[in-house]
Every structure is written in C-alpha cells, then in structure tokens.
C-alpha cells in the first residue's frame, strides 16, 4: 500500500562511487548480514506489546518476502516450466513459438495450481486442528509448501475476505492459529532464499494429502500429485486468490529493492517501525472514517500483524474499537491523497516526520543518533558510512 520510494541498492550504488575495494573490506564483513539472534525469540526480545508482532517476526517476514520474490523469478525464467505450464494453458501455438510465452501468463498458471493446492491444504489443516484440538506451532501441517504459503500469506493480508472465506467454508480453527514464523525461518536458506520443508511436514503432505512438497520439482518431473492439481482451467472462484498474490508483487519488489534483510541497521529499522506502527494504529481510533495509508516500514509491521488473523482482529477491536481492514485494492489517486492526509495527522499527533528515506545509510544514521542520544560527529558518521559500504560490497559479492 505504500507509495514508491527509490531503490536502496540504486541509492547505495550512487553512494558508493567511492566504494571500497575488496582488500579494504574488513574480514568480519565478508559475509555481512544481521546477527542470527535477531530472528530468535529470546528473553531479551520479549514483546513490548503482547498483541503486536515481535522484531524477530518482522525480520523473518522480510526473509519470506525474498523467498517469494525468488520463487517468482525461478518460475518465470525456467524454460522447462515455460514448456510445462504453457501446455497447461492449452494454446497449441506455444509448441511452435517456444520462448514467446508471456512470463505473466506462466506465473498466472503457476498461481492457479498453487490456489488449487491451497484450497485442498487449508481444508485438511482445519480438520486436523479440529481433531487434535491443537494450536502448536510445530504441528507439521502448519508449514505448507512455499507456493501454498504464498497464497495463504496474501489471503491473510485481506482480513475481511479471509474471514468471510473461513465462515463460508466452515473453517473454524485456521484463523485462530499464529503464523508459523519460527518454522518458516528454519525452512529458509539465508543465502539463496530456497525453502525446504522438514521431513515430517513433507511426509504428511505427500502421504496424507497427495500434495507434492515442492510444486516446481513436481512440475519439472511431470509429477501429478492429485487430480485437482492437474486441471488446465482456472475456476472463477480462484481468481480473487490469484489476484491477492499478484497485488502483493509490488510490495515484495519494494522490499527487495530496499533489502533491509541485509542491512546493518535492520534491528533499528524494525524497532522504529514497530513504534511508528503503534502510532499509526492509534490514528484509526482518533480519525474514524479517514483513509490512512502507511509508509513502507509501517506496512511491513501491519502485514506481519495481519498474518495472525484472530490476534489481529482482537488487537484492533481493543485498540480502535473496530475491526480494521487492510485494503490493498485502493487506486493510486486515493492512496496518494490518503498518504498526504496520514502524514499531516501523524506529524500533528507525534511531532515527528512521517515519510523520509529508508535506505541503509539513512537507517544506519538514525540508529546511531538514537544510540548517541543526539547528533553524531563526523568521525562516527564516516565509520557508519564505511560499515554500510562493507555490507553493500558483501551483497554485491553474494550476487556474483
């Protein structure tokens, strides 16, 4: 929902015109990344607000968005998947015009399969939760394949629609569970953003539901995991779920551009985002009926909050007196006007700026000023710039 902000990596490329050579990069930054403790639930990272997300959950959310971005790239650039999914689309010309299929058509067909698998998965999970009477985060069924996770995630970001879907389909338990952030982190590779299900989850999916743990692998091997997944026609009722995922591509790309997940200032960025999110939510109570539009950092926390549906609903009722929808279908003009209005209201209520630049360098400077309790001197500023450059150089090498 946030307005466009220039890419962090573009900013850093300009910033690093004087970039350090490889020999100048300190050894400890060779594999620069946020410390692993940032992603762990520990006694030093207890929730300041019990109904709000933790910093670790927001950090894992950034990882997950990178995995989604990577998945889209793998699907739309694979010649083998283009051939397989092109045949499913059913146009005979694709066999003689190989390579000319629009990537968006291939992605849409992949999402159609993902939505079919999601429908099967969520029904089975809700039934399993009902039988076992459990909300345990380690329950294998709560960690689906990445394509299903992507559909579930995008659906949760439309809370009114998801609540209606669960009610219509008599799903009484799935909304009450907490999103499995810890299990997602453990399933992800922080180097490649590949996603590997634990053996218990993969076994349950394959043996219990006839769902392949990895849709790409299944398609490349011409593996049919269940009859419904082999369909070549997208049912009309699946289109809204596909559209949910397609709309989220804009936000995912922005998060990939800023790449906070690799930033040396990630802890400070997320801590500030949580504070700003609480103030943003308070505006819903103070300004009923006003369209409020978040900044990118606030929207990240909002999305993280939405992923645990019942917790989010209860939190909004307690804090604002009503169930706040997250409407990602608003037109650009409405968003722009709403953003300007929100900025004025936020600054009037807090005395602080609402917008600003969220690049690595600016975020690192903000963190340093907070730690110093005021302005920082030239020597510290140069030290921060060098650290940002080190992290940037490490990211460049990681991509080669």
182 with 137: CB under 8 angstroms? yes
CA separation for the pair 165, 155 (Å, rounded): 10
Going from the C-alpha of 298 to that of each of 44, 235, 292, 304, 324, the distances in angstroms are: 23, 35, 11, 10, 15
The first and second tokens of residue 50, run together, are: 């019990």
- Mean pLDDT of all residues in 118-128: 94
Q: Please write the tens of the pLDDT for every residue from 214-272.
A: 999 999 987 654 434 444 556 777 899 999 999 999 999 999 999 999 999 999 999 99
- Mean pLDDT of all residues in 270-288: 97
pLDDT (0 to 100) of residue 25: 43
pLDDT surpasses 60 at 3: no
Give Dmax (Cα) for the chain.
Answer: 67
CA separation for the pair 321, 324 (Å, rounded): 9
Q: Which of 88-92, 154-158, 227-231, 246-250 has the lowest mean pLDDT?
A: 227-231
Question: ∠ CA(114), CA(115), CA(118), 5° rounding?
Answer: 90
Q: Which of 10-14, 143-147, 242-246 has the lowest mean pLDDT?
A: 10-14
Give the phi and the psi of residue 195 in degrees, each rounded to 5.
-130, 120
Q: Please write the tens of the pLDDT for every residue from 346-396.
A: 999 999 999 999 999 999 999 999 999 999 999 999 999 999 999 999 988
pLDDT (0 to 100) of residue 222: 74
Residue 95: pLDDT band by 50, 70, 90 thresholds?
A: very low
Residue 301: pLDDT band by 50, 70, 90 thresholds?
A: very high
Higher per-residue pLDDT: 351 or 40 = 351
Among candidate residues 310, 321, 326, the one with its CA nearest the CA of residue 277: 326
pLDDT (0 to 100) of residue 90: 65
pLDDT surpasses 80 at 32: no
pLDDT (0 to 100) of residue 164: 96
- Mean pLDDT of all residues in 114-131: 93
Domain ranges for the chain? 33-358
DSSP 228: G
Q: Please write the tens of the pLDDT for every residue from 178-221.
A: 999 999 999 999 989 999 999 999 999 999 999 999 999 999 98
CA separation for the pair 106, 110 (Å, rounded): 6
Q: Which of 18-32, 167-181, 270-284 has the lowest mean pLDDT?
A: 18-32
pLDDT (0 to 100) of residue 68: 98
Highest mean pLDDT among 139-153, 227-241, 308-322, 386-400: 308-322
Give the phi and the psi of residue 4 in degrees, each rounded to 5.
-70, 135
168 with 235: CB under 8 angstroms? no
pLDDT (0 to 100) of residue 174: 95
pLDDT (0 to 100) of residue 134: 52
Residue 342: pLDDT band by 50, 70, 90 thresholds?
A: very high
pLDDT (0 to 100) of residue 233: 59
Whole-model pTM: value is 0.88
Among candidate residues 4, 3, 9, the one with its CA nearest the CA of residue 393: 9
Average per-residue pLDDT in the chain? Answer: 86
């Amino acid at each position: 929902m946030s307005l466009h902000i220039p890419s962090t990596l573009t900013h850093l490329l300009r910033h690093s015109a004087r970039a350090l050579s490889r020999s100048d990069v300190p050894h400890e930054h060779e594999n620069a990344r946020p410390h692993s403790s940032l992603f762990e639930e520990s006694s030093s990272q207890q929730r300041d607000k019990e109904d709000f997300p933790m910093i670790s959950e927001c950090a894992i959310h950034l990882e997950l968005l990178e995995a989604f971005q990577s998945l889209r790239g793998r699907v739309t650039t694979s010649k083998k998947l283009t051939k397989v999914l092109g045949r499913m689309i059913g146009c005979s010309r694709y066999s003689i015009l190989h390579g000319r299929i629009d990537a968006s058509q291939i992605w849409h067909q992949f999402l159609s399969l993902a939505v079919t698998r999601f429908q099967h998965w969520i029904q089975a999970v809700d039934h399993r939760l009902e039988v076992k009477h459990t909300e345990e985060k380690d329950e294998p069924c709560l960690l689906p394949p990445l394509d299903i996770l992507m559909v579930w995630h995008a659906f949760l970001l439309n809370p009114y629609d998801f609540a209606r879907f669960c009610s219509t389909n008599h799903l009484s338990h799935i909304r009450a569970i907490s999103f499995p952030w810890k299990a997602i982190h453990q399933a992800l590779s922080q180097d490649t953003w590949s996603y590997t299900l634990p053996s218990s989850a993969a076994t349950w999916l394959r043996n219990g539901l006839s769902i392949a743990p990895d849709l790409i692998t299944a398609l490349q091997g011409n593996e049919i995991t269940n009859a419904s997944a082999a369909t070549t026609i997208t049912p009309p009722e699946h289109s809204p779920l596909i559209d949910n995922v397609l709309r989220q591509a804009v936000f995912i790309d922005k998060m990939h551009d800023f790449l906070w997940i690799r930033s040396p200032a990630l802890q400070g960025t997320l801590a500030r985002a949580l504070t700003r999110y609480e103030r943003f939510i308070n505006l819903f109570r103070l300004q009923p009926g006003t369209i409020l539009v978040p900044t990118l950092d606030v929207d990240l926390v909002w999305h993280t909050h939405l992923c645990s549906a019942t917790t989010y609903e209860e939190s909004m009722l307690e804090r604002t007196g009503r169930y706040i929808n997250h409407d990602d279908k608003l037109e650009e003009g409405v968003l722009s006007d709403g953003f300007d209005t929100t900025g004025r209201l936020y600054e009037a209520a807090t005395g602080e700026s609402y917008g600003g630049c969220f690049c690595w360098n600016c975020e690192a400077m903000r963190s340093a000023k907070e730690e110093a309790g005021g302005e920082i001197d030239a020597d510290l500023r140069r030290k921060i710039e060098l650290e940002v450059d080190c992290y940037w150089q490490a990211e460049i090498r990681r991509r080669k």
